């Protein structure tokens, strides 16, 4: 059974059982709706990375061995920070933070201890034994602060800002939003006149999620409203406005319903599914309506069934091709290394397939049952649009040489921007520079060396002097080679400090002792003078540790710096500890995760784009039975991809997970426009029309569908430009630019190039 026979059978089914088809689609929608209330949202970054990724496994191991993997820094600024009143007040803040369920430990001046050289040994002293009540005690306390190592770590050099470092256990089911709300609630009790700053990747993630939710709720109805208005103005009928939108709505519900039935949680980038379906899936419906109206205009006396029969006959193949190529472009995401992006690719493919089938069944079923729009019966209806499209086509055909010359030269120059593309997956950078989050981060980065940390898990015989020597070397290498690193902390630092103090502060003894027994003695002494949980974060067992955790604090959080840090550390580990001896270092923590995600984003982007382009080129070559045909069909899409990457670079819009999914929309939409244009152009030429006339007629029917679809999406998404959340703003600009480039590709480049080259494949 060939495709034409199949299209005919679909039409017969539509014509004979329209009510049953509509009822069946409603039943299916209820089936998918059933589980949607059970849909889970998973906003965490970790869920994006495959569970078997080395860093995720290391993070799980670190969670099992130690009590923390993320930090939240709460900084308090006051002119009289160390006054009795403030110290009492802030001690309650310390206690409140420590009482939070997901906080394993809080480090602050209230519980900090330091090693003091003692006669023939060392002592572990509390930094703040009691809150100073007079100026003498206060002066003594200030001297103690300067004598300890906490300046720039827990308190600023000018003693105006102090910080509380809360260690968090962020397991896979950690609720970032609930945590953010809890800590904001605690902090609000202590704010004023002191200023309080909060910084953490957890809080940034929670704020991102809230911003996305709020902006989506505000702007999506406005975007849809604008799209509806555009469609009403374009088609001036209920069928032209709502049938394509119903198809999109059903496909969105079915897609989320499928996620609920398969118990797939919605990741943060899952919010893009409706956007992608709105941008792509209403295409099929708009083309059916556009053709249906045009055939109605040509012969008003034909019955609805007859017009629909002609429409389906004309559109069956191009819609099938447009659907299958778009599905393939999204299925190419299956090669992506980020598991959630793979899931999104599969689900959007499902959504597009649904909208394709609904366009073939639901829209014709409704069109059979309802009268044709009254507006079509009027003289000159849609005449102005038709004239515009015909003149548009003629303009580009007449001026093809100057147009194509300017275009290609412009594109060549524009594409230089690709070199300047940056990558940004850091949640802090999603907010404007004057936002509270960015301001807090700036204060904390400047005063305390950042709120993001890279954790390094070390496996080995930790108390072996050689192991400690290597831990110390690894930390020194990281600090020396990476400007972004503000400080490092490991068990080697503690041992060195104890050895130094034990030798009465002799600077030559600030090193790892060569005797294992001595190291064990130091640890024993520390255990007597200190507290039980002093080494909870860095040793899995104080008697005979086999794992240790080291911390690298990062002051400058940019994705490039993080990627460089992760790459450099991995290279160092690979070249020095390839056999896991004497230590086996493993990267872990949020910084490592961000670095890994960034790598996966770029690699996945390039691979999936290349695969999609290649497959689509092969399909188009087969469909038009010509290599040149494949090239023509793929060219507008490839030029649009080039333009969008040039756009990213020239306008300084960074590449992140959302922008990386954009190329799929671009490929899907771009190929749809090309298929419709080229297929209908070939049909017109087969009908015996001259090339120029065929281009005009193609513009009139297919061009209308392309224009109405493109303009409605562009205008609809323009409202997201008013979002304060930078990724959404960037996404709306990119969607508009992508669809505009595809429109130029389908409605200007193709007519100009076809008329210039007059390729054979359109006459086959």
Partner 1 sequence: MKVKQDKVISLVILSISVFLIILWIYGIYNNSANPIVHSEFSLKNLVAWANYNTDLIIIIYVFLSLQLAGISEFKQGQDYLIVAFISLVFTPIGLLFIKNEKNDKT
Nearer to partner 1, 300 or 514 (CB): 300
Q: How far is the CB of 705 from partner 1 (least distance, A)?
A: 19
Q: How far is the CB of 20 from partner 1 (least distance, A)?
A: 4
Residue 198: beta bridge partners? 74
Taking Cα atoms as reference points, which of 186, 171, 12, 208 lies closest to residue 106? Answer: 186
Instruction: Name the one range near partner 1 by CB under 8 A: 15-23, 87-95, 174-182, 682-690.
Output: 15-23
Name which of residues 300 to 339 contact partner 1 (CB under 8 A): 300-301
Question: Under a CB-based contact definition with an 8 Å cutoff, are residues 176 and 205 in contact?
Answer: yes
Alpha helices in 415-435 (DSSP H): none
Q: How far is the CB of 19 from partner 1 (least distance, A)?
A: 4
Nearer to partner 1, 221 or 652 (CB): 221
- Find the binder of partner 1 among 3, 26, 157, 618 (CB under 8 A): 26
Beta-strand pair 266-267/41-42:
parallel
Nearer to partner 1, 274 or 654 (CB): 274
- Find the binder of partner 1 among 6, 8, 10, 24 (CB under 8 A): 24
Phi-psi region of 381 (alpha: psi -120 to 50; beta: other; left: phi over 0): beta
> What is the C-alpha to C-alpha distance for residues 730 and 653, in angstroms, rounded to an integer?
7
Q: What is the number of other CB atoms lying within 10 angstroms of the CB of residue 300?
A: 10
Range 221-227 contact pairs with CB under 8 angstroms and sequence separation of 24 or more: 222/719, 223/278, 223/716, 223/717, 223/719, 223/720, 224/278, 224/716, 226/712, 226/715, 226/716, 226/718, 226/719, 227/278, 227/712, 227/713, 227/715, 227/716
Q: How far is the CB of 666 from partner 1 (least distance, A)?
A: 29
- Could you please report the per-residue DSSP string of 25-93? HHHHHHHHHTTGGG--EE--SGGGS-TTSHHHHHHHHHHHHSS-SEEEEEEEE-TTTTSHHHHHHHHHH
Nearer to partner 1, 249 or 460 (CB): 249
- Specify burial of residue 298 (Cβ count, 10 A radius: 0-12, 13-18, 19+): exposed
Name which of residues 356 to 385 contact partner 1 (CB under 8 A): 370-378
Instruction: Name the one range near partner 1 by CB under 8 A: 3-11, 18-26, 51-59, 653-661.
Output: 18-26
- Find the binder of partner 1 among 4, 5, 20, 99 (CB under 8 A): 20
The DSSP element (H or E) to which 195 belongs, if any, is strand 195-199
The count of chain residues that interact with partner 1, using the rule CB under 8 A, is 38
Q: Any residues with CB less than 8 A from the CB of 415 and at least 6 apart, and which?
A: 642, 643, 645, 646
Site string for partner 1, 252-291 (x = CB under 8 A): ----------------------------------------
Question: Under a CB-based contact definition with an 8 Å cutoff, are residues 453 and 589 in contact?
Answer: yes
Taking Cα atoms as reference points, which of 436, 500, 597, 470 lies closest to residue 55? Answer: 597
Q: How far is the CB of 249 from partner 1 (least distance, A)?
A: 11
Q: How far is the CB of 225 from partner 1 (least distance, A)?
A: 7
Q: How far is the CB of 375 from partner 1 (least distance, A)?
A: 5
Question: Two tokens at 342?
Answer: 């793979």
- Across 622-642, b (16+ Cβ under 10 Å) vs e yields ebbebeebbbbbbbbbbbbbb
Q: How far is the CB of 291 from partner 1 (least distance, A)?
A: 18
Nearer to partner 1, 17 or 392 (CB): 17
Nearer to partner 1, 152 or 377 (CB): 377
Q: How far is the CB of 676 from partner 1 (least distance, A)?
A: 25
18 binds partner 1 (CB under 8 A): yes
Name which of residues 34 to 63 contact partner 1 (CB under 8 A): 34, 37
- Find the binder of partner 1 among 3, 4, 5, 30 (CB under 8 A): 30
Q: How far is the CB of 151 from partner 1 (least distance, A)?
A: 49
Nearer to partner 1, 24 or 572 (CB): 24
Nearer to partner 1, 17 or 184 (CB): 17
Site string for partner 1, 213-252 (x = CB under 8 A): ----xx--x---x--x---xx--xxx--xx----------
Question: Two tokens at 607?
Answer: 């691979």
Output the furthest CA–CA distance in the chain (Å, rounded): 110
- Find the binder of partner 1 among 6, 8, 10, 17 (CB under 8 A): 17
Q: How far is the CB of 229 from partner 1 (least distance, A)?
A: 9
Question: Two tokens at 250?
Answer: 């059903």
Q: How far is the CB of 302 from partner 1 (least distance, A)?
A: 11
Residue 547: beta bridge partners? 459
Q: Report CA-CA distances (Å) from 226 to 89, 173, 223, 711.
A: 53, 38, 5, 10
- Find the binder of partner 1 among 4, 16, 189, 625 (CB under 8 A): 16
Nearer to partner 1, 235 or 677 (CB): 235
Nearer to partner 1, 286 or 328 (CB): 286
| Overall residue count recorded for the chain in this entry | 764
Q: How far is the CB of 237 from partner 1 (least distance, A)?
A: 5
Q: What is the number of other CB atoms lying within 10 angstroms of the CB of residue 320?
A: 17
Question: Under a CB-based contact definition with an 8 Å cutoff, are residues 164 and 74 in contact?
Answer: yes
Nearer to partner 1, 20 or 172 (CB): 20
SS3 489: strand
- Specify the DSSP class assigned to residue 338: S
Nearer to partner 1, 156 or 311 (CB): 311
Point out which residues bind partner 1 (CB under 8 A).
Answer: 16-20, 22-24, 26-27, 30-31, 33-34, 37, 217-218, 221, 225, 228, 232-233, 236-238, 241-242, 300-301, 370-378
């Amino acid at each position: 059974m060939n495709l034409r026979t199949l299209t005919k059978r679909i039409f017969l089914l539509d014509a004979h059982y329209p009510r049953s088809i509509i009822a069946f689609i409603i039943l299916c929608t209820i089936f998918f709706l059933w589980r949607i209330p059970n849909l889970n949202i998973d906003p965490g970054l970790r869920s994006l990375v495959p569970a078997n990724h080395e860093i995720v496994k290391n993070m799980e191991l670190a969670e099992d061995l130690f009590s923390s993997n993320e930090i939240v820094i709460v900084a308090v600024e006051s002119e009289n920070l160390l006054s009795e009143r403030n110290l009492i007040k802030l001690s309650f803040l310390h206690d409140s933070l420590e009482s939070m369920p997901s906080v394993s430990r809080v480090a602050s001046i209230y519980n900090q201890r330091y090693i003091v050289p003692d006669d023939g040994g060392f002592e572990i002293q509390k930094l703040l034994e009691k809150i100073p009540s007079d100026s003498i005690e206060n002066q003594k306390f200030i001297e103690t602060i300067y004598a300890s190592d906490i300046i720039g770590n827990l308190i600023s050099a000018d003693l105006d800002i102090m910080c509380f470092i809360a260690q968090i256990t962020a397991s896979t089911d950690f609720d970032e939003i609930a945590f953010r709300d809890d800590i904001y609630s605690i902090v609000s009790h202590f704010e004023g006149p002191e200023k309080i700053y909060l910084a953490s990747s957890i809080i940034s993630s929670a704020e991102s999620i809230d911003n996305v939710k709020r902006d989506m709720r505000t702007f999506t109805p406005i975007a849809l409203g604008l799209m509806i208005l555009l469609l009403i103005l374009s088609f001036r009928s209920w069928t032209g406005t709502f049938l394509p939108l119903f198809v999109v709505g059903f496909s969105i519900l079915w897609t989320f319903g499928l996620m609920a039935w398969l118990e797939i949680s919605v990741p943060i980038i899952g919010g893009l599914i409706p956007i992608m379906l709105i941008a792509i899936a209403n295409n099929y419906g708009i083309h059916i309506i556009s053709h249906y109206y045009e055939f109605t205009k040509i012969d008003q006396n034909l019955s609805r069934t007859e017009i629909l029969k002609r429409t389906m006959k004309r559109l069956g193949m191009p819609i099938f091709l447009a659907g299958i190529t778009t599905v393939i472009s999204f299925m190419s995401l299956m090669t992506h290394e980020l598991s959630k992006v793979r899931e999104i690719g599969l689900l959007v493919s499902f959504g597009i397939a649904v909208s394709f089938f609904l366009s073939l069944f639901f829209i014709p079923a409704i069109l059979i049952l309802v009268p044709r729009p009254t507006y079509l019966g009027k003289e000159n209806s849609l005449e102005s649009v038709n004239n515009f499209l015909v003149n548009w086509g003629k303009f580009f055909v007449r001026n093809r040489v100057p147009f194509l010359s300017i275009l290609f030269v412009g594109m060549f120059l524009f594409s230089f921007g690709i070199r300047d593309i940056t990558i940004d997956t850091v949640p802090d950078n999603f907010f404007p520079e004057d936002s509270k989050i960015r301001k807090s981060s700036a204060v904390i980065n400047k005063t305390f060396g950042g709120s993001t940390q890279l954790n390094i898990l070390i496996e080995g015989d930790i108390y072996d002097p050689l192991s400690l020597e290597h831990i110390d070397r690894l930390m020194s290498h990281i600090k020396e080679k990476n400007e972004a690193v503000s400080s490092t902390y490991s068990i080697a630092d503690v041992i060195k400090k104890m050895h130094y103090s034990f030798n009465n502060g002799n600077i030559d003894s600030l090193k790892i002792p060569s005797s294992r027994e001595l190291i064990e003695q130091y640890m024993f002494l520390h255990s007597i003078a200190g507290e039980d949980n002093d080494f909870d974060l860095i040793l899995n067992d104080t008697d005979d540790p086999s794992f240790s955790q080291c911390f690298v604090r990062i002051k400058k959080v940019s994705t490039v710096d993080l990627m460089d840090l992760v790459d450099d550390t991995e290279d160092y580990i690979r070249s020095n500890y390839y056999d896991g001896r004497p230590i086996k270092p493993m990267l872990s923590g949020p910084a490592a995760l961000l670095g890994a995600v960034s790598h996966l984003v770029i690699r996945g982007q390039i691979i999936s784009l290349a695969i999609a382009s290649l497959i689509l080129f092969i399909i188009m070559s087969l469909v038009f039975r010509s290599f040149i045909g494949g090239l023509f069909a793929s060219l507008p899409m490839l030029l649009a991809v080039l333009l969008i990457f040039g756009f990213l670079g020239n306008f300084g819009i960074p590449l992140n997970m959302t922008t990386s999914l954009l190329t799929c929309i671009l490929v899907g939409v771009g190929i749809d426009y090309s298929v419709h244009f080229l297929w209908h152009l070939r049909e017109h030429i087969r009908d015996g029309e001259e090339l120029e006339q065929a281009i005009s007629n193609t513009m009139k029917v297919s061009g209308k569908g392309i224009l109405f679809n493109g303009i409605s999406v562009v205008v609809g998404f323009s409202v997201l430009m008013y979002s304060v959340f930078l990724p959404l703003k960037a996404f709306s600009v990119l969607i508009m630019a992508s669809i505009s480039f595809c429109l130029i590709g389908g409605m200007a480049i193709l007519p100009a190039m076809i008329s210039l080259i007059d390729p054979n494949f359109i006459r086959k």
